[in-house]
Amino acid sequence: MPGRLAGKVAVVTGATAGIGLGIAKRFVKEGATVIFNARRADRGTAAQQQLRQLAQGGEVHFVQADVSVREQVEAVIDRALNGFGRVDALVNNAQRLVTVKPIMVKPDEDYQNALDGGFFASKWAMQRAFPAMRDQGGGSVVNMTSGWAWQAPVNASDYAATKAAIEALTRSAANEWGRYNINVNVIAPYAKSKSWDKYAAANPDAARLSQASNPLKRAGDPEFDLGNLALGLVTEEARFITGQTFDGSGGAFYLRRTHSSTEAWTGKM
């Protein structure tokens, strides 16, 4: 039986580990051809080999690229267009991180790096993919935000602002592109990744408390939790869904939008 993405071409940025790799795995298992990027050639080659072993009818191609550079992220889209003549799904997963600093000492370069590696990277990829999606009769875009866009934690103003901008970009594109049968949605994920593993190893108590505050008491699995969510958003079944923010955090973000000392007693119930 053909997979749900058989014959489809998908671009997933930053798919060598964590959520990006999890999404790419789900897509190739459902028959999609997947084009993905990474900055490091060794990681990209390793992920390409892994994904090709899982592929069910589609192809897998790695493009070495830094999404914070417009010409390079456009080259990732062009690999799909030049090789297969279409882009059915675009998942803007990659996001450049910067140092943690208070607003008063955070340099403009940090804000620019966060925007280039997140907001502009998503915008550039979307702009490059749009004409093909329009001409082929439709497509799907999935962007990535974070609960930090509205939680606004201290010392991460550049990251929070970037994610808030991505949410606004998503809604604007959904309004402008809906007439062309292009769906544009955004996911707020909370899942395990290489960064999460490093953080948990260095801060085991904090990582445990972070998961305990989640209604489902765990971080998401990149493939089965986040990958399946992204998969659903790029299939025909989701063709009437656009401009929406999906909580991919197991309820950690949208069921925990505010926090107060009164939450301490809930663990006793």
Which of the residues are catalytic? 159
> Buried b / exposed e across 159-170, counting CB within 10 Å, b at 16+?
bbbbbbbbbebb
CA dist 186 and 200 (Å) reads: 26
Partners of residue 148 on adjacent β-strands: none
CA dist 251 and 242 (Å) reads: 20
Q: Starting from the edge strand earliest in sequence, which strands make up the sheet with 182-189, in order?
A: 60-64, 33-38, 9-12, 89-92, 139-144, 182-189, 245-248
**188 closest CA partner among 132, 133, 236, 257:** 257
Tokens representing residue 40 in the block: 């490091």
Q: Where are the alpha helices (DSSP H) in the chain?
A: 18-29, 41-54, 70-84, 108-114, 121-136, 148-151, 157-177, 194-202, 204-212, 228-233
Residues 78, 37 contacting (CB under 8 angstroms): no
CA dist 77 and 131 (Å) reads: 11
8-state DSSP, 4: T
Q: How far is CA 35 from CA 47, 57, 179, 180, 200, in A?
A: 11, 14, 26, 23, 30
Helical pair 194-202 and 18-29, crossing angle rounded to 10 deg: 140
